[in-house]
């Protein structure tokens, strides 16, 4: 099943970052986007996850063009079907780790998955305030929060940036297993070629174009 299809995306800030970028994501598929710092990878992920509107081009989610969706429709899709894991965690800082998961549970009306908490090795810090956690623990809580929603598409921007190699590999395995078990798809932005190569397809954002390299 097609989850996402982007056609001819172009975007500029002070200068043109990329033009005519097209990409399609199917269920149980993973795509990595690599490229030099500043090439526009995060911006592209923002366009694909509807956090930002493209200057040109279209993004279709689950068969419907996002430009033709009402604000309410798009909010519901974002809330229930898109899981966004970015470098800055956007956790609620005054809350405990568990309360952050409860917010996702309430918004998406899904259950908190205790095996996920165990797999991410964050059981010990569930009742600590987010501000008391290490960067790596915060990152894993934010991953647990995103997966609690049971999203159909995971957008991940350097999701393992704060983790040591072993934990990073375990977290990536968790993402891949999640996609397989839930027929979900993942788009990963990373500087790490090893992580990228774990994905089914790899693209490089270079010279304003998205080039397939695997």
Ligand X SMILES: Nc1ncnc2c1ncn2[C@@H]1O[C@H](COP(=O)(O)OP(=O)(O)OP(=O)(O)O)[C@@H](O)[C@H]1O
Which residue, 47 or 172, is less far from ligand X as judged by CB? Answer: 47
CA separation for the pair 163, 165 (Å, rounded): 6
- Part in contact with ligand X (CB under 6 A); list of ranges 36-44, 120-128, 143-151, 161-169: 36-44
Which residue, 122 or 168, is less far from ligand X as judged by CB? Answer: 168
- Give the H or E element holding residue 84: strand 82-85
- Paired with 93 in beta bridges are none
Work out which of 30, 42, 50, 96 binds ligand X, going by CB under 6 A: 42
The residue count of the chain comes to: 214
Report in angstroms how near the CB of residue 142 gets to ligand X at its nearest. Answer: 17
Work out which of 31, 40, 136, 203 binds ligand X, going by CB under 6 A: 40
Which residue, 35 or 159, is less far from ligand X as judged by CB? Answer: 35
CA separation for the pair 102, 145 (Å, rounded): 8
The answer to whether residue 38 forms part of the interface with ligand X (CB under 6 A) is: yes
Work out which of 17, 31, 116, 156 binds ligand X, going by CB under 6 A: 17
Do residues 103 and 92 make contact, with C-beta atoms less than 8 angstroms apart?
Answer: yes
Do residues 207 and 20 make contact, with C-beta atoms less than 8 angstroms apart?
Answer: no
Which residue, 119 or 158, is less far from ligand X as judged by CB? Answer: 158
Residue entry with tokens 């490229």: 35
Give backbone dihedrals phi and psi of 24, rounded to 5 degrees, phi first. -140, 140
- Part in contact with ligand X (CB under 6 A); list of ranges 37-45, 54-62, 104-112, 165-173: 37-45
Binding site for ligand X (CB under 6 A): 13, 17, 35, 37-43
């Amino acid at each position: 099943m097609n989850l996402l299809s982007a056609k001819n995306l172009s975007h500029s800030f002070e200068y043109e970052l990329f033009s005519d970028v097209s990409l399609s994501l199917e269920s149980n598929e993973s795509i990595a986007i690599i490229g030099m710092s500043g090439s526009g990878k995060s911006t592209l992920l923002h366009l694909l996850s509807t956090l930002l509107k493209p200057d040109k081009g279209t993004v279709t989610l689950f068969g419907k063009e996002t430009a033709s969706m009402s604000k309410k429709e798009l909010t519901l899709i974002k809330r229930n079907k898109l899981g966004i894991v970015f470098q800055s965690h956007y956790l609620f800082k005054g809350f405990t780790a568990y309360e952050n998961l409860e917010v996702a549970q309430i918004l998406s009306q899904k259950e908190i998955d205790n095996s996920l908490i165990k797999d991410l090795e964050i059981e010990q810090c569930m009742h600590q305030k987010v501000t008391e956690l290490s960067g790596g623990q915060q990152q894993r809580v934010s991953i647990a929060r995103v997966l609690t929603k049971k999203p159909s598409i995971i957008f991940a921007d350097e999701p393992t940036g704060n983790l040591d190699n072993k934990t990073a590999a375990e977290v990536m395995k968790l993402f891949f297993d999640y996609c397989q078990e839930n027929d979900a798809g993942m788009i990963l932005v990373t500087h790490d070629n090893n992580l990228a190569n774990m994905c089914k397809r790899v693209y490089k954002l270079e010279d304003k174009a998205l080039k397939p390299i695997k």
